[in-house]
Structure 1
């Protein structure tokens, strides 16, 4: 006759096991939203030269997101080692979902939802119905899925002010987690949904630009040559996206105004009009907190 696991289950563990049942790999979190288990290497002597960091190869617990698992027995082991855990983190970028988290923050009065809407209008994509998690501070986490083999990097404010991205090597605080600021909860009407595929246009914005080939045409000027070259390499259907991405990076690095004319010239050479190019660059300036 089958037996039932009657070991004590904390609320955090119960929520973590529920997430694991959906194929999501989890780790225990403390009230600070940080991994509840400290690194087992914090007191190890540092050899010279330093080796590559351990990601759990040592067999001990405490390697952050690298401990993440969807196996119930492993999850119970993690939470047994951290009985103080009040929440759980969901690892991004892992199969089967290859989760991508879009974190819409509300700090310092930033309207990140409006920034995402402007991005969607500018680049003609729509966020499909998907899981939405409400944060204690009034923000939202949108759960999306990426294609296998594509590693979306973590970023903070790169896409637009107030928008952080959780990708490979990152994690999202799971619904039901209790932190010192409050409890995370699934938004009404989204708990039954599965994470929706990330729109392809948005996915391109989340990825770093491809490396340019040697021998390609180099525009004049010492600043932003790689960004201008990135725009020059655009094909039909991605010209506006590449221009917007390059303009954002230019403003973030402090030489946006100096690069405007070169970016417009490059965009016009790919087929955009000067008017379209100026509007796209102005949008990038606004989204990075600058005045065009």
Structure 2
């Protein structure tokens, strides 16, 4: 490696460490990342015939997001063990912030793609917000080298948010417990992650409750003291109500019908019929399941 290349690599490593230490001071657990955005340290169990299901209990580094720490000395030790690291990852779901990352991918259609193609996660999240009636608050926003962005939100202590890719909508991924976000200032093979103008001084905003119900597993419905199953006519009316949904009201009608179903104890045949009816109207399966989950959670929290 030429002297100039070595100097550049050393500078990139030093910058990544400095950014990671700053994040750790803010209570954000970090790990070193390579230029590929993957954890820089390899597993200490990679040579084992049958690797143990270890999450760092062995005391050695190399367990990915499970190595994440806010301790400055531990952060320095991790980066010292990975001098090739040019970035850092921030573990999601950890106290005190319990970070939730909403990864919005923006990709233009390739020339060979038919029908437009491409992905616009920013527009997709906006459409979800309008459909479900929530507003994305001003929050820390990181611009990715590919033209997308990461929104930093916080979640409550009693909700575990899983990782998902495209479940809410194409181009909308979620980083929750067990996941990590590439931190601003990280240098990758595609470019540098940077804070969006005007968001550097913000704190991660609380996740809107409606969005939280869409990305988190639904809470089990609260048992009713005296659930009264709907009559066959009432159940059929709910299904017809969903089947007759005009474009633009399919999600709203399904949500209302599902709430009425949960009021009566949520009979499985009725929920299955509502699901089939919603799919028949052309509502995508991920939206159907998310709307039913939202109805279940909201009705469970309603006295």
Distance 1:78 1:204, change over 3 A: same
What residue ranges of structure 1 are gaps of 5+ in the alignment?
1-7, 221-227, 232-238, 247-258, 267-276
Which of 263, 266, 278 aligns to 2:274? It is 263
Question: Contact 2:61–2:78 at 8 Å: present in 1 too?
Answer: yes
Q: Which residue of 2 aligns with 1:96?
A: 96
Q: Which residue of 2 aligns with 1:128?
A: 137
Classify the secondary structure of the residue corresponding to 1:141: strand
Write out aligned runs for 1:1-292 (5 A): 10-46=14-50, 53-107=53-107, 108=109, 109-210=118-219, 240=252, 243=255, 262-263=273-274, 282=282, 284=284
Question: Contact 1:27–1:69 at 8 Å: present in 2 too?
Answer: yes
Distance 1:286 1:206, change over 3 A: closer
Shift of 1:285: 6.5
**C-alpha distance in 1, partners of 2:48/2:121?**
42
Classify the secondary structure of the residue corresponding to 1:59: coil
Classify the secondary structure of the residue corresponding to 2:212: helix
**C-alpha distance in 1, partners of 2:148/2:24?**
24
Classify the secondary structure of the residue corresponding to 1:202: helix
Q: Which residue of 2 aligns with 1:271?
A: none
**C-alpha distance in 2, partners of 1:40/1:241?**
52
Distance 1:31 1:113, change over 3 A: same
**C-alpha distance in 2, partners of 1:114/1:212?**
32
Question: Contact 1:33–1:87 at 8 Å: present in 2 too?
Answer: yes
Count of residues paired in the alignment: 237
Question: Contact 1:205–1:241 at 8 Å: present in 2 too?
Answer: no
**C-alpha distance in 1, partners of 2:151/2:73?**
28
Shift of 1:282: 4.8
TM-score normalized with structure 2 length: 0.69
TM-score normalized with structure 1 length: 0.72
Shift of 1:209: 3.0
Question: Contact 1:132–1:141 at 8 Å: present in 2 too?
Answer: yes
Question: Contact 2:168–2:286 at 8 Å: present in 1 too?
Answer: no
What residue ranges of structure 2 are gaps of 5+ in the alignment?
1-10, 110-117, 233-238, 243-250, 259-269, 289-303
Question: Contact 2:105–2:171 at 8 Å: present in 1 too?
Answer: yes
Distance 1:168 1:278, change over 3 A: closer
Question: Contact 2:279–2:285 at 8 Å: present in 1 too?
Answer: no
Superposed CA RMSD: 3.6
Distance 1:16 1:261, change over 3 A: closer
Shift of 1:44: 1.3
